[in-house]
Each structure stands twice: as structure tokens, then as C-alpha cells.
Amino acid sequence: MSHVVSQEWLFEHGTDDHVVIVDCRFALGNPTSGRTGYDTDHIPGAFYIDLEEDLSAPKAAHGGRHPLPNLDELAAKLGRIGVDSDAFVVAYDDQGGAMASRLWWLLTYLGHERVAILDGGYTKWKETGYPVTDEPPVERAAEFRPHVRPEILLSVDEVKQRLGRPGTVLIDSREPRRYEGLEEAIDPVAGHIPGAKNRFWKDGLTAEGLWRPASEQAERFTDLKDAEEIVVYCGSGVTACPNVLALQQAGFTNVKLYAGSWSDWISYEENPIATGNEERA
């Protein structure tokens, strides 16, 4: 099953009984902008889910800037917006799919694979002239029963155990300059986890902001074809998710998320830090 649906598909199927549309718009540094944008206009029938209020737990000493949410609370939220075992969830944002991919990954982690992101997001939807509304969606409560898949998630200790392990590849999803440690405007320490390769998540998009097809995603990761395990991280566990999705689209199966990511890694003073581009070393 494809994890990306087209604008045309959602326009034709958005009102189907089993389809649940979720607006995930959110901007780091302006946390109210997503909800404000949603209240102004959104895709008809869409529910709003907030990155920090719904898809993350409060920040603590460890766990990163966006720790995974309380799963019982998330399951209850999903049930309130109509997600049950038969639902097909379509998530969108206006930031290239990063926030929508976070919901995609969390649903996958909770054992619900009937979920996709909207190609082109809300920006493309409005540019195309598809309908928008400021009307709230009709509530259709359901029961969401999670079936957690712990095998696709790694803790900081599990990542440390894998450093230098043959067959395991770490992927850093941040911008190259942050990966190399040349700049860091968000976290207090610059650099990357030793041994990690850099694959900027936005390289999975075309210049028009559309999702690259599976063949082009495979080209981004062609050097990983012999990897036995791929561990993906970013700054806080959010923009790693589109790379996890891209890897799955490219045919990789043993892909895991280090949800705490760089912001969690550097919260432990004893953890090693690397700088520069290791692939050019």
C-alpha cells in the first residue's frame, strides 16, 4: 500500500465513510500558527491534531525536544476523531509533510497501517483550487485499539549499542550544515552521532514540493542496499519520519526510528559527538 495519496485521490474520496482527514499544520517557533491556520480554513472534514499537544509529550531532561506522546491519550484522541481499525487516515500539513509524517509514523507504531500523507500538502490543495472551509468537522467517535510495534523504535541506549555495528546504518535527516556541526540554531550542541550518514529529509521532495516516486527515493539510498538495519534520527524525532517513510517507499523493511534523536543524544554528557562529513572522510 502506498503511503502517499494524490490531491486528486483525496478530492474524490475525502467524503468516503472510512476516510479520516487530519490537519497537522505546525510551525516551530510559532506553535499557535497551525491551529490558527486551521481555524481560518482547512480541507472539508479535516480534524486538527497538534504536534506538541497531541503528538508529543512535554519536554523533560531527556527524551528530546518532542518526546513520544502518552499512547493512551493519543489513542483516545484518535478515537474521538473517528479512527478505528477500518479507517484510512490521510494526514497533511504545509511543511513538506514533516508533521504529517509524524502522525503517519505514530499510527504505524500503534499498529495502524491504513494511513498516508497528502502529496503536496495544504499549500498545493489551495493552489489547485480544491474546496476549503472554516466549518468544524462532524464528530464521529470510534474506538481506536493500539497494537504497539516496539521493534520499530529505538532508545538512546539501543542506539549506543549499535555504534560501529556491522550491518547497521545511522541516517541523520537534518540539513547538511547542522549534521556537519557548522551551525546549530536549535539545540545547544552541534554535530552528529558518530558514524551517521547525512540524508536531508527535504531531498525526498521535488522542487515543486511533491513527494518523489519510489524509484527516485531508492536512488537517494542506493548505498544502503546491503544494510541489515537502518536507524533514522533528526533533531527531535519529527523530520526523521519523512525519511522513514521514504525508505519504506524505496523498499527497505528493517527501518527504525530513534525518536529522541539529536536533542536526546546530547542530553547525556557522556555520549560521543562527531563533526564534519564522514562520507567524505
Active site residues: 234
Distances (CA, A) of 36 to 42, 93, 135, 255: 10, 13, 13, 35
Three-state secondary-structure class, residue 72:
helix
Q: Is the dihedral of CA 75, 79, 81, 83 positive or negative?
A: positive
Give yes or no for a contact between 224 and 246, defined as CB atoms under 8 angstroms apart. no
List the one residue out of 231, 92, 238 whose CA is nearest residue 161.
231
Which residue shows C-alpha cell 552528529? Answer: 192
Residues in Cβ contact with 99 at an 8 Å cutoff, skipping those fewer than 6 apart: 24, 25, 26, 34, 51, 55, 91, 93, 238
Cell of 104: 503517519
List the one residue out of 194, 168, 177 whose CA is nearest residue 266.
194
Give yes or no for a contact between 197 and 247, defined as CB atoms under 8 angstroms apart. no
The rounded distance, in Å, linking the Cα atoms of 260 and 151 is: 15
The rounded distance, in Å, linking the Cα atoms of 6 and 8 is: 5
What is the SS3 assignment for 145-201?
A: CCCCCHHHEECHHHHHHHCCCCCEEEEECCCHHHHHCCCCCCCCCCCECCCCEECCH
Three-state secondary-structure class, residue 98:
helix
